[in-house]
Structure formats: structure tokens, C-alpha cells
Amino acid sequence: MKKIIGILILTLALGGCQGTKFGTFIATIESAATGTVSPEAIYVAANTFDAVEVTATNYLTLKKCPINAPFCRDPVATKALIPAIRSGRVARNNALQFLKDHPSQLGTQGLYDALTSATDTIKSIMSQYKVAGVN
């Protein structure tokens, strides 16, 4: 019960943050209370990671800066992106394997959190280095 109250207080404190919606709020409370997420949520998170992964991978195919070209990739961004992409692939594969092994069952919150965390990390790195297509 204390866990739920603590999460409720934290969620209410962050209520003005961008992207907070009532449905997301309810889903957050439910997942925190049960420690599980729906298979649909895991599939959405996996697809979101796939989209971010494609953008990051395409960025890594650019030539390293400084070159005499209109587009290039920052070597520092490359160092940060490669391990983030790799950990995201592991998280995605683990989550999807769980769903394959346990069809129609709720997934664990840890698998979901690892996947969304990896996606957020890649988006953050790409935003920091101003890679087009990431907000």
C-alpha cells in the first residue's frame, strides 16, 4: 500500500510534465501495483524501440566528422549510441522471447522498463547531438 501511495504522490507531483494523460496515469498506477504489463504494451514498446533503432543505425552509417560533407556523425555520439543500441536489442529480444514463451500472459514490469529505458536513452543521446528525426 505504501508503494502505491508513494507512486501516486510522485505521479501527481509530475502531473504537469509533457505527455502525461489520464489513461497513462491509470496504467502507471496499475502496473506499479501489479508489477506486470499487458502483452500489447510490450509489443508497442518493442515497435517504438525498432523505430528509434533504425534512426540511430542510419545515423551510424554516416561518415565521421570532420569531413567535407553536408552530414556527418559525431564520434562522441557514436561511442554513446553503440552500447545503447546493443542493450536495447537485448531488452527487446528478451521481452519478445518472454511473450513467445508465455502467450497471452502479462509480461513483467522489469522487461518493459528495460526496453523503454533503452529507447529513452537512445532518444536522449540523439537529441543531445541533434540528430534529425528525434524529439
- Positive or negative torsion for Cα 71, 127, 32, 28: negative
Domain ranges of the chain: 1-34, 35-128
3-state helix, strand, coil in the chain (%, to 5): 70, 5, 25
Peptide bond before residue 70 is cis, with ω within 30 degrees of 0: no
pTM score, whole prediction: 0.68
Question: Along the 135 residues of the chain, how does pLDDT read in single tens digits?
Answer: 444 444 445 444 444 444 445 555 555 555 555 578 888 899 999 999 999 999 999 989 988 887 766 778 888 889 999 999 999 999 999 999 998 998 878 878 888 999 999 999 999 999 888 876 555
Q: Which segments within 1-135 are labelled E, that is strand? A: 36-37, 107-108
